[in-house]
Amino acid sequence: MLALLFVPLSDVAAISFTARRWVVRTAILLLFATVIAVWLGLSGLSAQRHLQAARAALDTARQALLDGRPQEARAAVVRAGKDTARARALTDDPVWKATAALPYVGVTLKAVRAVVAGADDLSRVVLPGAVAAAESLSPQTLRRADGSFDLARIKAAAPEVHASALAAQGVRDRLGRPAGPVVGAVATAQRQLAAQVDQVVDLLGSADRTLKLAPALLGSDRARRYLVLVQQSAESRGTGGLIGGFAVIEAEAGQLRTVDQGSNADLENGAVAVPPGVPASYVDLYGGDGALELWQNVNLSPDLPTVARVVEALWQAQGGKPLDGVIALDSVALASILRGTSPLVVGDLTVAPDRLVEFLAVEQYRGVSGNRDRGVRKDLLSDFAVAAAATLSSPGSDTRALVRGLAEAVTSGHLRMTSRDSLLQPGLRAAEVDGALPGGAGPLAFPVVSNATGGKLDYFLDRSVVYLAGPCQGVRRPSSISVRLTNQAPAEGLPPYMTVRNVDGVSTESTDSGVVLRVYGTPGSRLIRATLDGRPLTMDAVGSAPYLSYGVEAGIPQWFLTLDLPRGKPRQLVLQLAEPTVPGQARIPVQPLSRPLGVRVAVPAC
């Protein structure tokens, strides 16, 4: 302080002037920053209002498309595009661009601009083409008066859907992730938009693949013949359930015709040579159970392409004509496809589509006893198959409900199709609807059950899988696959035919069931330890205690055992593994049964 007394007056004046100048500059900067903040806030709020209006319009468009009102959907998309364009203009001026380039605060502003740009691209680039294609393929025009599909319309819509699918993928790629932390509300908006874009990408990708595949599938170039296997998941098998009936469908120039049908009583057993393309692992794992001679066991493997080759061999061995593909579906798929149609009427029975699953799983067995009654029931199943086929091929059926039901059946995995046709199989494989075991070396946990006692209690089977793995360190990492099964059959009231229990040649009636449980794991995995209900399992047969077996199918390791399922008592198999540290997301394929599979996964993607 004393030193200040000796500062010349001129220096004091200079200091005072410098201070005033600093204060003025600071005030100007603060004012400028305030103006910018106010501008960003006001324009941001206005952009937010436009985005909210656009979101409401897009919700309207989505519902209009689901309800078959494409013109209304198009108008809603146009409204949304106007709002997103205005929001983009509000966040695309020089102030926003310059401020977004700043460190720290710029990260959030850049994220805001990315959200707005993504929403605008979605509304004005992606969706207009998709809606135009939907309008062209409306239920009123997709099928002709005779019930056939208009292949010319399908082919004409394909390029526009493909372009929209590519544009949607581009929006997802540009959206990316923020370069740093952003304000919570912006992060939430970014996650919501990313989820919406993912849905659009998946939907358009599926539509793109379907439209590419549909002309050949419907016989645009030549007639094609498909064997449809109706599976009864109340008695489980690898691909879903016991083959209970079949139909042969021919497709030509967009027209579908049912040319043959029957129950499994019409399928003739008999040993066939191992067909070309069937791997030795199929023979090793399932041949001893009659998979190459018995229709009831041909689909013990969950790998539908392999099963289909054996099915074709068995079919042609009984005089059937060559096939272009095999379709496997169950009562859940049938109920989806027939939803919205009139009840099925067969004789004095009337069954609504929403009751079909329970009817085929339980009600059809009431009053069944002896071979004669079983024959009547099998004829009944055949009659329902014919009635369902007639409903689907009728020109007066609801096309919108049919298309939505087919999509639901496919996406849920209850309808799968495979083919050796070079025009069909690549598209079926790309769409992941061919029921093949997963390829590649990515992390995998896949539980599969097959009924082991001959009863029909798997309709009541609850299943869950928990897949855990350690961090992406080293060549291998520890992992565990835990599978829990519970037989939830009621204690009483079931038809006796459902409660048949065949064990070692002895037949009894019981609500206790039994299955063979197979658990597929990541290729290259090694088993460290296995437990059943908390007790250690061995790989050797010891008395009557359950023991674990090992096999490899299509390069994928599997561990399996025969498991009793007393009613109401959970059984839990835990496999502790050392699995290769391989890239990719964890894969949990789902075997299609009546009840859904519970899934919990904590596997870091490497």
State the SS3 of 122-175.
HHHHHHHHHHHHHHHCCHHHHECCCCCECHHHHHHHHHHHHHHHHHHHHHHHHH
| Model confidence at 3: pLDDT above 50 | no
Question: What average pLDDT does the segment 258-272 reach?
Answer: 91
| pLDDT, greater one: 264 or 97 | 264
CATH number at residue 256: 3.40.630
In the structure, what pLDDT confidence band is assigned to residue 46 with cuts at 50, 70 and 90? Answer: low
The pLDDT, as a whole number, for residue 542 is 64
The predicted model scores a pTM of: 0.85
In the structure, what pLDDT confidence band is assigned to residue 421 with cuts at 50, 70 and 90? Answer: very high
| pLDDT, greater one: 381 or 482 | 482
Tokens of 91: 């966040």
| Model confidence at 398: pLDDT above 50 | yes
Question: What average pLDDT does the segment 159-176 reach?
Answer: 84
Question: What average pLDDT does the segment 204-229 reach?
Answer: 90
Regarding whether 87 and 11 lie in a shared domain, the answer is yes
The pLDDT, as a whole number, for residue 37 is 46
Beta bridge partners of 536: 531
CA gap 62, 78 in Å, rounded: 13
| Model confidence at 15: pLDDT above 60 | no
pLDDT digits (tens, 9 = 90+) for 529-544: 999 999 999 887 665 6
Regarding whether 468 and 369 lie in a shared domain, the answer is no
Question: What average pLDDT does the segment 107-134 reach?
Answer: 78
* Boundary of a domain, candidates 217, 242, 275: 217
In the structure, what pLDDT confidence band is assigned to residue 184 with cuts at 50, 70 and 90? Answer: low
Number of domains in the chain: 3
Among 162-176, 218-232, 485-499, the least confident range: 162-176
Question: What average pLDDT does the segment 28-43 reach?
Answer: 44
Is residue 232 in a domain? yes
- Residues with Cβ within 8 Å of 138's Cβ and at least 6 positions away in sequence, in order, are 68, 70
Range of the domain at 553: 445-602
Question: What average pLDDT does the segment 118-144 reach?
Answer: 80
The pLDDT, as a whole number, for residue 190 is 65
The pLDDT, as a whole number, for residue 397 is 67
Regarding whether 454 and 387 lie in a shared domain, the answer is no
Question: What average pLDDT does the segment 74-102 reach?
Answer: 75
Whether 60 and 76 have beta carbons less than 8 Å apart is answered as yes
Regarding whether 245 and 105 lie in a shared domain, the answer is no
The pLDDT, as a whole number, for residue 176 is 66
The pLDDT, as a whole number, for residue 4 is 32
Instruction: State the SS3 of 475-533.
Output: CEEEEEEEEEEEECCCCCCCCHHHHEEEECCEEEECCCEEEEEEEEECCCCEEEEEEEC
Q: b/e string for 266-276 if b means 16 or more Cβ within 10 A?
A: ebeeeeeeebe
Regarding whether 122 and 21 lie in a shared domain, the answer is yes
Regarding whether 117 and 94 lie in a shared domain, the answer is yes
The pLDDT, as a whole number, for residue 21 is 54
* Boundary of a domain, candidates 217, 252, 274: 217
Is residue 436 in a domain? no
Is residue 379 in a domain? yes
Regarding whether 394 and 313 lie in a shared domain, the answer is yes
Question: What average pLDDT does the segment 506-534 reach?
Answer: 95
The pLDDT, as a whole number, for residue 36 is 39
Regarding whether 351 and 247 lie in a shared domain, the answer is yes
What is the percentage of the chain residues whose pLDDT exceeds 90?
45
- The listed range with the strongest mean pLDDT (87-101, 258-272, 578-592) is 578-592
| Model confidence at 100: pLDDT above 80 | no
Question: What average pLDDT does the segment 120-141 reach?
Answer: 80
Is residue 277 in a domain? yes
What is the percentage of the chain residues whose pLDDT exceeds 70?
81
Is residue 308 in a domain? yes
Q: Residue holding tokens 């589509």?
A: 353
The pLDDT, as a whole number, for residue 62 is 75
Among 115-129, 491-505, 517-531, the least confident range: 115-129
Is residue 585 in a domain? yes
Is residue 440 in a domain? no
Regarding whether 266 and 172 lie in a shared domain, the answer is no
Torsion of CA 116, 119, 121, 126, to 10 degrees: 180
Question: What average pLDDT does the segment 279-288 reach?
Answer: 96
- The listed range with the strongest mean pLDDT (28-42, 349-363, 563-577) is 563-577
The pLDDT, as a whole number, for residue 527 is 96
In the structure, what pLDDT confidence band is assigned to residue 95 with cuts at 50, 70 and 90? Answer: low
Question: What average pLDDT does the segment 21-47 reach?
Answer: 48
Residues 181, 183, 187: CA angle, nearest 5 degrees: 80
Regarding whether 548 and 464 lie in a shared domain, the answer is yes
Torsion of CA 541, 443, 234, 425, to 10 degrees: -120
The pLDDT, as a whole number, for residue 352 is 87
CA gap 197, 168 in Å, rounded: 7
| Model confidence at 314: pLDDT above 90 | yes
Regarding whether 308 and 407 lie in a shared domain, the answer is yes
| Model confidence at 108: pLDDT above 80 | no
Pairing of strands 224-237, 325-330: parallel
pLDDT digits (tens, 9 = 90+) for 187-200: 676 677 677 778 87
For 212, counting Cβ atoms within 10 Å of its Cβ (0-12 exposed, 13-18 middle, 19+ buried), the class is buried
The pLDDT, as a whole number, for residue 400 is 76
* Boundary of a domain, candidates 168, 188, 217: 217
In the structure, what pLDDT confidence band is assigned to residue 25 with cuts at 50, 70 and 90? Answer: very low
Among 29-38, 67-76, 448-457, the least confident range: 29-38
Mean pLDDT of the chain: 83
CA gap 317, 414 in Å, rounded: 28
The pLDDT, as a whole number, for residue 17 is 46
| Model confidence at 175: pLDDT above 80 | no
CATH number at residue 583: 2.60.40
Regarding whether 515 and 415 lie in a shared domain, the answer is no
| Model confidence at 38: pLDDT above 80 | no
Tokens of 599: 């899934």
| Model confidence at 601: pLDDT above 80 | yes
Using alpha carbons only, how large is the chain's radius of gyration in Å?
31
Is residue 367 in a domain? yes
